[in-house]
Amino acid sequence: MDTATKRAKLKRLKAEIDARKDLPLTEGNLVFGEGNPDCDVMFIGEAPGAEEDRCKVPFVGACGELLDEHLEKIDWKRSDVYISNIVKRRPPENRRPRRGEIEAYRPYLTREIEIINPKVVVTLGRFSTNCFLGDAKMKCVHGRAFNIDGRIILPVYHPGAALRSTEIRNLFQADMEKVPKVVNGELKVEIPKAVTNLPSSMARPKAKKGGAIRALLSGR
């Protein structure tokens, strides 16, 4: 899919979400993904915060500044990647997104991933990681690359957690340094034995006739 087609599809997807008045959190602004549609790496957080809601751009507050800082440390720019969230509108008072909200917006994230078709998905924090690795704990999976049905998933602590803890910030930096290594094939990629306790709407469908399992994790 060429760049122009990707941009057109993303524009239509954004308009479709905006037109849906029955989605959760519609009192807030729509914060759609942004970045390079031809990127190798897509970052996925959990939901917009207050600054993101105001600017209608993902990761532009303090968390975004930290993410940008660590992209620069690996000699990348924000324009080199694509950044989005599971939930496309801000939960009140920056609370964590609820399961129903995640499930309501999940089909749109699925389509966003399919359009971008990144080589690597970097999940920022527990909520994003759990969409791909079920009930996995961040302390167990962060910084490890997993092959989920042809797509490489790299869980990394959320920048918000890194801002609150020096220990987490050090782990976040170390994990971010692994991102280009994953892209270049320099880091071991694991195949998880099982992915458990995914919400029903996130469960992967049965494989068809020897084909790869498709859904949120569809790969190249």
If one looks up domain 3-192 in CATH, what number appears?
3.40.470.10
Query: CB neighbours of 125 closer than 8 A, spacing ≥ 6?
Result: 45, 46, 138, 156, 157, 158, 160, 161
CA–chain centroid gap for 110, Å, is 10
42 DSSP β-pair partners: 82, 121
Compute how many other C-beta atoms are within 10 angstroms of the C-beta atom of residue 80.
Answer: 15
> What's the whole-number average pLDDT of the chain?
89
As a whole number of angstroms, the longest Cα–Cα distance in the chain is: 49
Mind listing the pLDDT tens digit for each residue in 28-49?
Answer: 999 999 999 999 999 999 999 9
Mind listing the pLDDT tens digit for each residue in 85-144?
Answer: 999 999 998 899 999 999 999 999 999 999 999 999 999 999 999 999 998 999 999 999
What is the domain partition of the chain in residue ranges? 3-192
- What is the spatial distance between Cα 104 and Cα 108, in angstroms, rounded to a whole number? 8
Mind listing the pLDDT tens digit for each residue in 6-29?
Answer: 999 999 999 999 999 999 999 999
Mind listing the pLDDT tens digit for each residue in 186-206?
Answer: 999 998 875 554 443 343 433
Compute how many other C-beta atoms are within 10 angstroms of the C-beta atom of residue 153.
Answer: 26
